[in-house]
Structure 1
Amino acid sequence: MSNMLDSTKEFNEVKIYTAVFWYIFTMLIVTITAYIIGDVYLLNNSNLLSLISTTLFIFVLFYKFKVKRNKLSLLIKDYFTKINIKEIFGIVVTQLCLSMSLSLLLIGIIYFTSPNMLNKLLSQSSVDEVSTYSGLFISMLITVIGAPLMEELLFRAIIFKRISRKFNIYLGMILSSLIFGSLHIELAIIGAFLFGIACCILYIKYKNILIPMTVHFLNNFLSFFPQLDINSPVDSTPITSLDARISIISGSLLFLIGMYFFIKFIFKNKSYLKEGFSPRIDEKLNLKI
């Protein structure tokens, strides 16, 4: 794979503090604008606000990366040369298995420590804005398209790569995945951390951001799929002791299966972690994160 395009060299570097500044700035400017114009619908629709700010931030990143048609064309050609469909679907299934197992385990554990808090959390998570087809469409855009694009550019192409070059690839992988996981405040936060690790490995292996993006797209689409039926009744029945036990047992089995394939994936690709990111010529003298 060393004779193929290293797309990490094809675009401008973006420093972490620059990306974080624009990430916060775009969220603030969209929210402040909504307050100034007094759009009640926009202010009460967090998904729409998130979609607008995410889209704006993606355009800012494209500008900072200096994405041009010829470079993008090379990236896409390189993507189709390197992509491994079997590996991608294997990772997606593994990550969904891990996320589901961790959610089930946490449900069972929280129930036996604080059942009232668990039922409150579950009832709150069932209340969302996807009650209309327009709300469904907005939610799908942000979840399936916006989030994978923005998060892969920010967490893998910027944070992971910059920390890896400044220190080492293992620290970059762990820190970027910890930050990525911490922003996913649902019950599957640990699953998000493991997902971040897998995407980091894919990025360093193929050196093409479109490949972890593809995994992210598929993962989010399959996770979002159950929401497509907006007319399905929401089960608000409180969790029982039997439900909690079943959650722990099934979650444990799924976790063992998922971790087996996750660890197998890591060992299969550990040689790529030794390669790291080769420094750019303009960074050899001054590499700031």
Structure 2
Amino acid sequence: MSTYEQTFENASIWAIFWRFLLISIGSIFIGVVLILTFMGQHATLISLVTDGLIYFLMYKVTLSQMKKHSLSINALSRPLPETERSLFPVLGLTALTAIVAYSFIYFFMTLLTFIPVLFDLIMPHLIDISFTEELPFFYLFVVAVFFAPVVEEIIFRGYILNKWVDKYGVKKGIIFSSVVFMIIHLQSLFIPQLIVGLLCGLLYVKFNNLLYPIFFHAVYNFIVIMPSAFIHYGNPEEAQETLLAIQDTLPVEFVLTSILFLVSLPLLVYVSKRFFKSLRKTNSPYYENILLNE
């Protein structure tokens, strides 16, 4: 382990960013070619192929940048303890976070009904990014539960968080990496993904093991996408009409879900404080794992 760098301080975030941008552009081009080749058929399969390609290449780029800077891939995680009982409280934290995230969307829309100017301005865009594209559950399951948790945690916690913790300290490293994580998840209305990013960062720093944020991320995504297996919004026009109509007549389920958000958010804050109350670290997970293996 002594041949490896002890910190991520010299690792390049920009090198990761511009390569990801090229990967995204290239994958979009491949997707367009495949759609034209199959004349618009097999859209779900094509999306799986292109998204899978994006995640695979992002994973390879991240690991190649680590090797370039003489960083140990193994030191991203320390060995698991003999018992995995610590995953049970993480599971409870994850379920509570998913409830907050799911109810936040309804709370936000309910709040907009009391501000007509903002409702008319924001609601059409909210519908466009969140409700009009109904993707098959199989696609959501594969991408959200398998691809995204593993690759995104390696990138945002394993690479970016370690980099910024080594450079700016634990608190700023968690916050900065979470803000970037939030920004790339536009369709989630930012706040839920900010919460997810913060909790994944805290879990990584607490346990020094990527398994915990990966587990949290995968279970969270699974809970959030589960309603799509049973609830169908119909075509985009019907969904838009239904949601725009809540300004005139607010459905009872919106009120109840908003109340659920107002109850579950303080509970999540309380549980998180209890769960992470003993967290007093000044080093990155990578640095601590390097020292452990020397």
Do the structures match in fold with TM over 0.5? yes
Residue 186 of structure 2 aligns to a residue in which SS?
coil
Q: Pairwise CA RMSD of aligned residues? A: 3.9
- Judge conservation of contact 1:99–1:191 (CA < 8 Å) in 2: yes
- Which amino acid counterpart does residue 128 of structure 1 have in structure 2? E
Match of 1:261 among 259, 265, 268: 268
Aligned to 2:133: 128
Residue 174 of structure 2 aligns to a residue in which SS?
helix
- Judge conservation of contact 1:15–1:158 (CA < 8 Å) in 2: no
Q: Residues of 2 paired with 1:164 and 1:176: CA distance?
A: 9
TM-score, normalised by the number of residues in structure 1: 0.75
Q: Does 1:155 align with 2:156?
A: yes
Match of 1:109 among 111, 131, 136: 111
- Judge conservation of contact 1:26–1:53 (CA < 8 Å) in 2: yes
Shift of 1:139: 2.9
Residue 243 of structure 1 aligns to a residue in which SS?
coil
Residue 187 of structure 2 aligns to a residue in which SS?
coil
Matches within 5 A, 1:19-58: 19-35=16-32, 39=37, 41=40, 47-48=47-48, 49-58=50-59
| C-alpha distance after superposition, 1:30-51 (max 9, x if no partner) | 2234456754549976844333
- Judge conservation of contact 1:98–1:258 (CA < 8 Å) in 2: yes
Q: Residues of 2 paired with 1:123 and 1:278: CA distance?
A: 39
Shift of 1:76: 8.5
Shift of 1:245: 7.8
Q: Residues of 2 paired with 1:163 and 1:197: CA distance?
A: 14
Aligned to 1:140: 141
- Judge conservation of contact 1:177–1:196 (CA < 8 Å) in 2: yes
Relative to structure 1, the CA distance from residue 179 to residue 109 in structure 2 (aligned partners, 3 Å threshold; closer, same or farther) is same
Aligned to 1:174: 175
Relative to structure 1, the CA distance from residue 116 to residue 163 in structure 2 (aligned partners, 3 Å threshold; closer, same or farther) is same
Relative to structure 1, the CA distance from residue 79 to residue 180 in structure 2 (aligned partners, 3 Å threshold; closer, same or farther) is farther
Shift of 1:79: 6.4
Shift of 1:97: 2.2
Residue 128 of structure 1 aligns to a residue in which SS?
coil
- Judge conservation of contact 2:170–2:282 (CA < 8 Å) in 1: no
- Which amino acid counterpart does residue 59 of structure 1 have in structure 2? K
Shift of 1:212: 0.5
Shift of 1:128: 2.2
- Judge conservation of contact 1:152–1:209 (CA < 8 Å) in 2: yes
Match of 1:88 among 87, 90, 93: 90
Shift of 1:146: 1.3
Relative to structure 1, the CA distance from residue 255 to residue 266 in structure 2 (aligned partners, 3 Å threshold; closer, same or farther) is same
Relative to structure 1, the CA distance from residue 276 to residue 251 in structure 2 (aligned partners, 3 Å threshold; closer, same or farther) is farther
Q: Residues of 2 paired with 1:150 and 1:51: CA distance?
A: 10
Shift of 1:14: 5.2
- Judge conservation of contact 1:119–1:239 (CA < 8 Å) in 2: no
Matches within 5 A, 1:69-80: 78=80
Relative to structure 1, the CA distance from residue 84 to residue 178 in structure 2 (aligned partners, 3 Å threshold; closer, same or farther) is same
Aligned residue pairs total 267
Shift of 1:15: 3.3
- Which amino acid counterpart does residue 169 of structure 2 have in structure 1? N
- What is the percent sequence identity of the aligned residues? 19
TM-score, normalised by the number of residues in structure 2: 0.73
Aligned to 2:70: none
Shift of 1:280: 4.7
Q: Residues of 1 paired with 2:194 and 2:285: CA distance?
A: 25
Q: Residues of 2 paired with 1:244 and 1:220: CA distance?
A: 26
The answer for unaligned runs of 5 or more in structure 1 is: 1-7, 284-289
